[in-house]
């Protein structure tokens, strides 16, 4: 009886620690602060001597000591995949427990310089951190703890517990890895001054290789006064990139003025850009400053520049080259100093051939072109963007939606997104508004994303079949979250283990498919 009481006490301790960890990750702090707080919670609540995390550096393809609750001897400790305990865990995707450090010749003792006495008195547990949200399961790091000498059964229980923790934090670690990769890019280009703010722009998501290239190009052109030409389909984020370039430029404290050239009739564009004198035309009741004047010493963003008339193009060219403008109806020359950023979704080369765009202006604005690929060509960005918008709209509308279900994620990733990021943002806003629970599910997504097979909304489904599909979705989502741990899934779903086991067999679900401990992966993150 005493043994059962002790087991229940241990289970409660694990659950309370998991709840504290989840509460820590929900706080509005940086990723690094949240994960460091998590390591502290692990060490204090579970009485671990040390708790630390290594993350794969995409640039060097080595594991770097990135987070630690206990001070390390050096801040620049790395581990090679396949070497030592940590390297083997990363290479195989399987957890390793070392009952006593001194008994294992592969224990490297690199980061903390443990004494001979510590090596004799401590065990070691290392579990992989696996990102299940990429196209394939991908080991991106390892979570490790030093533990006192404990029985093998207790060691196995702590290993299982740490695997659950690793599954919970995998998404956060993946985001931190992306930030590390972006910073490495900036460092390699010499674009990060000491003490400068090196984080990507606030709303800029760059998980894919293509978008990291876009980010790198934007940081290359930002410090200069060169004209940037942003190209890409409508809705890909050209305006956001223009804001990022301006904020990283020496003109960041000056105004950023925006104009969509397609939003105004051609006869009003010149007045908007260059201003007009009182009485210059019917309706000009007073003198007005143009946007070139308003943006003086700052940046002017001209979206859809291909829509400008040829007359307006000539005046824009003069403003760029001579730094001079004239208001409509005035002969007075006004000197302006404006950095120009242009954008278009049109093929300007075709407009050149048709005589609809000036060749001299084309070469003047095409100094530094940046192409933003459509969302369908960078699917690695879909989920990070969706989660970014989820957080934005849950905060805006005061909702308690915490995540996106696995089937909903699959729909988001499979969809071709003709409206690009703008369409995805609208999709997530709609889903948050519709959602009355804590998880975005397939039926919260727009009908354009759904199919009868994936969302159980087909007219041929009976009520029982629709309920069964929903039940199956919940179970798969939970198993993926817990790494195939049916006992943990039963706790999360608030049912008995027997029911979960029965449903797994009923729906012929392969639990091993979701098991983090049995997956052997080594997929390199492309940078």
Secondary structure of 14-48 in HEC code, one letter for each residue:
HHHHHHHHHHHHHCCCCHHHHHHHHHHHHHHHCCC
Helices marked H in 248-379: 266-274, 291-294, 310-321, 348-353, 359-365
Residue reference for tokens 């409509």: 328
193-215 CB burial, b ≥16 within 10 A, e <16: eeeeeeebbeebbbbbebbbbbb
Phi first, then psi: give them for residue 3, nearest 5 degrees. -65, -45
Per-residue CA distances from 53 to 105, 177, 213 (Å):
21, 12, 28
Tell me whether residue 346 is exposed, middle or buried, using C-beta atoms within 10 angstroms of its C-beta: 0 to 12, 13 to 18, 19 or more.
middle
Separation between Cα atoms, residue 477 and residue 463, nearest integer Å: 21
Phi first, then psi: give them for residue 97, nearest 5 degrees. -115, 135
Tens of pLDDT along the chain (527 residues)? 334 444 445 556 777 878 877 776 766 566 777 788 888 888 888 888 889 988 887 666 778 877 887 777 666 778 888 888 998 998 888 999 999 999 998 888 888 888 899 899 999 999 999 887 655 678 889 999 999 999 999 999 999 999 998 888 888 888 777 766 655 544 444 444 333 333 456 667 777 888 888 888 888 899 988 899 999 999 888 999 999 999 989 999 999 999 998 888 877 888 888 887 776 666 667 888 889 999 999 999 999 999 998 988 998 999 988 888 888 878 888 899 999 999 999 989 999 999 999 999 999 998 899 999 999 888 888 888 998 899 999 999 999 888 888 888 888 988 889 999 999 999 999 999 999 888 898 889 988 886 534 444 444 556 777 677 778 877 887 887 787 888 888 888 887 878 888 888 888 887 877 764 334 333 333 33
- Distance spanning both ends of the chain, measured CA to CA: 56
DSSP 199: S
Secondary structure of 78-100 in HEC code, one letter for each residue:
EECCCCHHHHHHHHHCCCEEECC
CB 50 within 8 A of CB 112: yes
């Amino acid at each position: 009886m005493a043994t059962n009481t002790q087991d229940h006490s241990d289970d409660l301790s694990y659950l309370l620690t998991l709840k504290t960890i989840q509460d820590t990750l929900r706080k509005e702090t940086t990723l690094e602060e949240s994960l460091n707080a998590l390591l502290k919670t692990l060490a204090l609540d579970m009485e671990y001597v040390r708790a630390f995390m290594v993350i794969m550096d995409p640039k060097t393809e080595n594991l770097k000591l990135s987070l630690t609750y206990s001070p390390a001897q050096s801040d620049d400790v790395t581990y090679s995949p396949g070497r030592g305990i940590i390297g083997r865990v990363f290479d195989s995707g399987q957890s390793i427990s070392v009952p006593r450090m001194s008994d294992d010749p592969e224990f490297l003792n690199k980061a903390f310089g443990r004494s001979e006495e510590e090596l004799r008195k401590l065990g070691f547990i290392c579990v992989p951190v696996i990102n299940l949200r990429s196209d394939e399961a991908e080991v991106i790091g390892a979570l490790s703890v030093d533990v006192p000498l404990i029985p093998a059964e207790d060691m196995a229980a702590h290993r299982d517990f740490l695997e659950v923790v690793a599954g919970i934090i995998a998404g956060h670690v993946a985001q931190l890895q992306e930030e590390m990769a972006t910073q490495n890019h900036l460092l390699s280009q010499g674009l990060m001054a000491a003490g400068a703010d090196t984080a990507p722009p606030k709303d800029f998501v760059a998980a894919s290789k293509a978008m990291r290239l876009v980010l790198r190009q934007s940081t290359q052109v930002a410090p200069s006064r060169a004209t940037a030409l942003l190209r890409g389909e409508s809705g890909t984020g050209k305006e956001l990139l223009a804001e990022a370039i301006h904020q990283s430029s020496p003109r960041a404290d000056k105004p950023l003025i925006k104009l969509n050239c397609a939003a105004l009739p051609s006869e009003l564009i010149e007045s908007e850009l260059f201003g007009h004198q009182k009485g210059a035309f019917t309706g000009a009741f007073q003198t007005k400053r143009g946007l070139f004047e308003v943006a003086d010493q700052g940046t002017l963003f001209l979206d859809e520049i291909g829509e400008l008339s040829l007359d307006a193009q000539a005046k824009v060219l003069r403003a760029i080259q001579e730094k001079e403008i004239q208001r409509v109806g005035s002969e007075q020359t006004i000197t302006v100093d404006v950095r120009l950023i242009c954008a278009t979704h049109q093929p300007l080369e075709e407009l050149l051939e048709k005589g609809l765009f000036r060749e001299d202006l084309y070469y003047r604005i095409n100094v530094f072109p940046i192409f933003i690929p459509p969302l369908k060509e960078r699917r690695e960005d879909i989920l990070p963007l969706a989660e970014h918008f989820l957080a934005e709209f849950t905060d805006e509308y005061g909702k308690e939606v915490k995540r996106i279900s696995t089937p909903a994620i699959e729909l988001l990733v499979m969809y071709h997104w003709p409206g690009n990021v703008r369409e995805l943002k609208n999709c997530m806003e709609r889903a948050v508004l519709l959602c009355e629970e804590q998880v975005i599910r397939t039926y919260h997504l727009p009908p354009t994303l759904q199919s009868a097979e994936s969302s159980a909304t087909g007219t041929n489904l009976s009520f029982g079949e629709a309920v069964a599909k929903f039940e199956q979705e919940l179970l798969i989502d939970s198993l993926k979250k817990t790494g195939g741990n049916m006992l943990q899934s039963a706790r999360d779903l608030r049912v008995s283990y027997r029911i979960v086991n029965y449903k797994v067999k009923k729906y012929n679900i392969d639990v091993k498919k979701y098991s983090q401990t049995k997956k052997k992966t080594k997929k390199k993150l492309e940078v």
